[in-house]
Amino acid sequence: MTLNLVELSPATIVAVNTMSLKPGQEEFLAPISYSIAATVIDPAKAWQRVAVDGDEVVGFISASFDEDAPHEHFKSVLLRINVDADDQGRGIGRFLVEALVDEVRRRGLDHITVMYEAGEGGPEAFFHRVGFTPVGETEYGEVVAEIRV
């Protein structure tokens, strides 16, 4: 496997949108807090990257960096990470989170937050393994976790 990180582009966006999930994973992709916050997330502040193995799209990560975000959780936040079902469990998710942490450091920020739903089939164990520590809960009951850099 030769993993590379590329920008989201017309060449990759279709493949990103057609990546598959394992059964039961759909419900974990977007916590309620994200739909509420969608109104306040500025697309210009989005950081999105695609993991490619050779010329195959295998993963996607999206974050937002916005010092003016009205809520603390959304100032430096991982919004979405997903790895194609067939390629999960090969270190691609970790590769993407490490790239994000590099970006956080590059921007001179001191943390990255993620919000997720706990539960069987969800990303909780992954987020713990790659370094996120729970620090609270949203008003909708999602876990708030962060990596300090």
Ligand X SMILES: CC(C)(COP(=O)(O)OP(=O)(O)OC[C@H]1O[C@@H](n2cnc3c(N)ncnc32)[C@H](O)[C@@H]1OP(=O)(O)O)[C@@H](O)C(=O)NCCC(=O)NCCS
Residue with tokens 């959304």: 74
CB 66 within 8 A of CB 44: no
Residues 42-61 within binding reach of ligand X (CB under 6 A): none
| Three-class SS state of 57 | strand
3 part of the interface to ligand X, by CB under 6 A: no
Distance CA 78, CA 103 (A): 12
In whole angstroms, how close is the CB of 93 to ligand X at the nearest point? 2
CA 21/CA 74 separation, integer angstroms = 25
| Residue 98 in contact with ligand X, rule: CB under 6 A | no
Residue 94 binds ligand X (CB under 6 A): yes
Cα dihedral sign for 4, 61, 47, 128? negative
- Specify the residue, 43 or 89, whose C-beta has the smaller distance to ligand X: 89
State the minimum distance, in angstroms, from the CB of residue 108 to ligand X. 25
- The residues binding ligand X (CB under 6 A) are 21, 25, 28-29, 80-83, 88-94, 116, 123, 125-126, 129-130
